[in-house]
Amino acid sequence: MWPALADEAIVLGDETWTFADLLLLGIATGLLEEATSSTRDGLAALQLQAGPSQEQLHAEAVAFRRARTLESGQDLRAWLAARELTMEEWQAHLQRSLAARELTSSSAGAAPGTSESESEALTVDLACGGWWQHFADLAARLWAAAKLVEDDADLGDSDVDDRLAADEASRIMSEFEVLAGLGEPWCIDRLRLLGTRQRALEEAARRCAAAKVVDARVGAHANDWTEFVYDELLLPSREAANEALLCARDDGIEAADLAARAGLVLVRHSDRHDSLPVAAATLLDGALPDQPFGPVALDRRWAVLWLRERRRPSLEDETLRATAAAELLEEALERIGQGQIRAANVL
């Protein structure tokens, strides 16, 4: 069954990573255990509760195909064939995915251990659940981080790293027979490489979190990251919104009273400028505090809004600083990887 571990999975610069390399990465980082737990939960849930309805399965299938741009039945069959999967195996994956999400706390942890059926289900779930792509994305991030900080001499392997890699390789070779044929020397070398690159990613993140670069990024996003606190009254038509706006402006009716008279709910929101529709963000930019404005087209209805507070991004906001640092890191890694990364079509 797909994939053959010796097959090429992703090319990173002048390196070629096989599916065996990605599997080892998944093991070393705990991602494979996360995937295994998801499969195990799905199998347990199907034993302990009624399976998903046909309507739920249909919705899950539609979401799966849309996410992968599989417009026709032929597209889906070709996607499955490339991964040596049958329609029945795909449908079983959908059932497990739905069941796992609905797993109740009372059934969590059921069906421990690894059976043959669980192993087969996991193979299908790795392919259909996007796990191979997840492994490949992480491999690309680690590779790009190593390139980004390759001038740092402190990222080399130490004797401690060698001993840890040897111990971990011994464990992996004993627990994962599918990799045992590649030998411990291969496993040790790859684990040492992963350790170095994970430290490189940590160093890259540290550099991108430096005070000066974060200050500059927050300043550059002063407008996009401005947060608006506002009240929203949604009305069924533009005419109704215009009438409500006139009542608020000309008659001085407060937002809460206006909502009560209309039998509607006044909703308070707190949104960043860059998360809002352009029309709403533009109006909030120029709005006066506590003054009604609109109407604004939102979600096929019309709204009257009241700005309550406009919060400019603060350099003292640790959450905002973390967001800025993460954005800087992702941009740096993406620049390094441009034109240097090629993944297998069947990931």
Statement: residue 280 has pLDDT above 90? no
What does the pLDDT look like over 311-332, one tens digit per residue? 999 999 999 999 999 999 999 9
- The pLDDT value recorded for residue 153 is 59
What percent of the chain is modeled with pLDDT above 70? 93
The CATH number for 226-311, chosen from 3.30.365.10, 3.10.50.40, 3.90.230.10, 3.30.1050.10, is: 3.10.50.40
What does the pLDDT look like over 76-118, one tens digit per residue? 999 999 999 999 999 999 999 998 887 754 444 444 444 558 9
Extents of the domains making up the chain: 8-207, 226-311
- Mean pLDDT, rounded, for 143-166: 77
- The pLDDT value recorded for residue 162 is 74
- The pLDDT value recorded for residue 12 is 96
What does the pLDDT look like over 194-231, one tens digit per residue? 999 999 999 999 999 999 999 999 999 999 999 999 99
Average pLDDT, the chain: 90
- 227 or 51, greater pLDDT: 227
The secondary structure of the chain, three-state, reads CCCCCCCEEEEECCEEEEHHHHHHHHHHHCHHHHHHHHHHHHHHHHHHCCCCCHHHHHHHHHHHHHHCCCCCHHHHHHHHHHCCCCHHHHHHHHHHHHHHHCCCCCCCCCCCCCCHHHHHHHHHHHHHCCHHHHHHHHHHHHHHHHHHCCCCHHHCCCHHHHHHHHHHHHHHHHHCHHHHCCCHHHHHHHHHHHHHHHHHHHHHHHHHCCHHHHHHHHHHCCCCCCEEEEEEEEECCHHHHHHHHHHHHHCCCCHHHHHHHHCCCEEEEEEEHHHCCHHHHHHHHHCCCCCEEEEEEECCEEEEEEEEEEECCCCCCHHHHHHHHHHHHHHHHHHHHCCCEEECCCC
- The pLDDT value recorded for residue 108 is 47
Statement: residue 238 has pLDDT above 50? yes
- Mean pLDDT, rounded, for 47-62: 88
